[in-house]
Amino acid sequence: MELSILLIMFLLFIFVCSAFGLVYIWSSPKEMEGIPGSLGWPIIGESLSFLSDFSSPSGIFSFMNKRQQRYGKVFKTFVLGRFTVFMTGREASKILLTGKDGMVSLNLFYTGQQVLGPTSLLQANGEAHKRLRRLIAEPLSIDGLKKYFHFINSQAIETLDQWSGRRVLVLDEASSFTLKVIGNMIMSLEPSGEEQEMFRANFKLISSSFASLPFKIPGTAFYCGIKARDRMYAMIDSIIARRRNGEVIQQDFLESLIMKHSRGTDTGDDENKLTDQQMKDNILTLLVAGHDTTTAALTWLIKFLGENPAVLEQLRDEHRRIQANRRDGTDLTWLEVNNMPYTAKVISETLRMATILPWFSRKAAQDFEIDGISYNIKKGWSVNLDVVSIHHDPGTFPDPQNFDPSRFDAPVKPFSFLGFGSGPRMCPGMNLAKLEISIFIHHLVCRYKWRPLKRDDSVQPTLVRMPKNKYPIMVEPL
């Protein structure tokens, strides 16, 4: 629907330009002229093809692969309002993700910049980024997660209690579970109730807006995402006000921010404290980072287990041994969930196979070269790393279309596995994601068997790759 509306608007724009004799010159920055590739149509570039390929079974890999076959490992294009260069390979991965010598900075698409706000961790660089990352990393550290372990465990059990003998849309259930977890960690949201429902409705619109075309027009995903973000911020403002008035006191991430960063308190120099806007931008960033990717990973993992019975049986054996070594009447413990070696390999192989974040976008902060790449990168360029091709490189991962957790029996080559990214911008929610998935999978494989109800490998047209059909299954007790 959105693409049809935008296409009509584009045609009207061309008509108006023609009527007034306007001439639109469509070309890339001059320095880019030596790089092969196509910019597509005026204004929208190759955005429609880009978004369309998102929904194909191979996802963005289809878009990349067609152009790599035609132009090589490096090509230029224009998508979602931006001139950009795509490239792949371990050497490019090392340079772009480590940000060596300040060569690159993170480069969100316009839609992400607008939705997350200017003070988000994902838009900060240099010392500002280090400071915000330390702040956000606190509740997501191993020690910080311990106090949420029992809540996560109880939510996993409560979710799975509803699955027996039912048709289940795994993606929806995984989304509900992970959103309850991160909402409780951040601002003590109850797992059910009116506030939770409003929170979920707004969050869904925000998530859907990140891969939309950058037109703030009523009815578009981008417009709806901005409006949902505003409602979410109003909700957080209300919670902050109640906390400061002493009406509510909670031991959560938001409370720690209010205590440390309220102006006029005796906890430090006001100049070094976060404003309310900075708090809201980074709470939203943490909510997004702690939800979408984990939801997708959990859904893909259950799908891959259903398609690979030998892997599922080996995984089930690991969790049955954990159960067998436990005293009667006791539940999963923190020590047990941190000692699941085969589960860890299954998670890694899921992230490799699905490549939930198919590319990482960076902006060149200076001119530089990459070994093995025959083009010079110029300051100011948008440079995107194609992660799918790295994860499906047969030189590193033989027979890459097979789901094989044993690939991770030994360490893989540096910068060839990017399930959680790498370098200073490695996913801050990595430990939380592993914890949530390990807990959920433990209870799932110990209690249930399942079968898919519909075979469909298409993916949703969003930046985080998720099954389009939400992976419907029928669940039965073991």
Distance of CA 13 to the CA centre of its chain: 34
Angle at 131 between CA 125 and CA 135, to 5 degrees: 125
- 423's tokens: 């370098």
Give me the count of residues in the chain.
478
What 3-state DSSP class applies to 90?
Answer: helix
Phi and psi angles of residue 85, each rounded to the nearest 5 degrees, phi first: -115, 130
Half-sphere exposure of 411 (CA within 13 A, CB side): 3
Tokens 């906890």 map to which residue? 267
Q: Which residues pair with 368 in a beta bridge?
A: 377
- The helix (run of H) or strand (run of E) holding residue 476 is strand 472-477
Q: Which residues pair with 363 in a beta bridge?
A: 105, 382
- 472's tokens: 């419907």
Q: Is the sign of the CA dihedral 424, 427, 432, 435 positive or negative?
A: negative
Q: Which amino acid is at 315?
A: L
* CA 87/CA 274 separation, integer angstroms: 37
Q: Which amino acid is at 472?
A: P
Half-sphere exposure of 440 (CA within 13 A, CB side): 28
* CA 4/CA 213 separation, integer angstroms: 12
Tokens 């990352």 map to which residue? 133
Please check whether residue 342 is in contact with residue 405, taking contact to mean a CB–CB distance below 8 angstroms: yes
| 446 labeled binding residue | no
- In the DSSP assignment, the letter for residue 459 is B
Report CA dihedral (403, 408, 410, 412) to the nearest 10 degrees.
100
Q: The sheet that has 382-386: what strands, in order across it?
A: 75-79, 82-87, 382-386, 359-364, 104-106
What 3-state DSSP class applies to 125?
Answer: coil
Tokens 């003998």 map to which residue? 165
* CA 473/CA 478 separation, integer angstroms: 15
**Nearest CA among 271, 254, 238 for reference residue 185:** 254
Detail the residues annotated as belonging to a binding site for heme. 427
